[in-house]
Amino acid sequence: MPIHKTKAGYKLQINRKGIPRIRRTFPTLRAAEQFERDHLYKHMGIVDRGSAEVAASSRQPGQQEDDRSLLALLDIWWRYHGVNLSDGTRRKAILEAMFSRLGHKNARTFSPQQFLDYRYACMYTDSSPVMAKTFNNRHVYLAAMYRTLKKLKVIDYECPIADVELVKIHEKQLTFLSKGQVIDLFDNLKGCRNKSVWWIAQVCIRTGARWGEAESLKRKQIHNGRVTFEFTKSKKVRTVPLDPVFYADLIDFARLKNPEERIFKDGMMAFNRVVARTDLIFPRGQMTHILRHSFASYFIMNGGNILTLQNILGHADIKMTMRYAHLSPNYLNDAVALNPMAKLGL
């Protein structure tokens, strides 16, 4: 049931035995695909639309080939899996934008060459090229969608880009704020009309929290000299102690809040505006995240344990935490004591 792009719009043709024949033109691709799904649901005699789609994907040899588009599979992935992910909405938006640009592509016949042409355009010919890490995220999300649907038996074929390697990225040292920059930043944040911004940034740099984790704190999450973060990226609850003086001040700031009430207002945009008015230059993509990097960097430089840091940051994989290991005062000191020149006394 191909959909063809014409000057008049997107032309849909449905020619399937036992179903009324359809030839119609729609203004958008989404409208054509939605009509296609609704028409099949209406005439296939299956109670659940998702079941109809799964049944269509489980064809035996000799049956009609699966010709669903990438967008059609994304719709199924969202209902069966994506809606339950902590970042599912964001992933869905990224994949939708990706598939819309690719045009109406058959998910089964989508080729590595088509994907690589898209990657080249995004990274090298677009007016605003995307970074390698950003595109690698898209790559991972697309491959994960195929793998999930194959596991759920929605499709019976492998991911077409399974053998395409991610773009190699040169590893860089994570940036952190100097002591002078920390003082300068928080002096400027104190003048922000949104008083929550200073407090959110303080929680981030004192606990290593992500901005969203600190921004969404409720009154019940600060207790007994500690702050507990919920709905984290790893989906695990973690608790971090606070400096007693700061804890008392935070309790006073939140004294009129109910247990289920948020302590702070949204503040990311205000934070960005404050930084833009200063001489501080943050690496691309690390605007608020530099607070988390700064906490982790100073923790290790001051002699903190790498496993303790893993628990504080909530990293599921120790490899993520090891990015800070080189900042340890004793990191690879044997290179000095055990090199050939040292052994020769030179």
Active site residue ranges = 210, 233, 289, 292, 315, 324
- Euclidean distance between CA atoms 210 and 295, whole angstroms: 11
Q: Is 26 helix (H, G, I), strand (E, B) or coil?
A: strand
- Euclidean distance between CA atoms 227 and 68, whole angstroms: 48
- Euclidean distance between CA atoms 274 and 131, whole angstroms: 25
- Euclidean distance between CA atoms 20 and 203, whole angstroms: 61
**End-to-end Cα distance, the chain:** 78
Cβ neighbourhood burial of 276 (10 Å; 0-12, 13-18, 19+) = exposed
Q: Which helix (H) or strand (E) holds 249?
A: helix 244-253
Q: How many CB atoms lie within 10 A of CB 201?
A: 23
Q: What is the CA radius of gyration of the chain?
A: 26
- Euclidean distance between CA atoms 204 and 279, whole angstroms: 21
Q: Which residues pair with 3 in a beta bridge?
A: 12
**Contact by Cβ (8 Å): 228, 214:** no
Sheet holding 9-14, edge to edge: 3-6, 9-14, 22-26
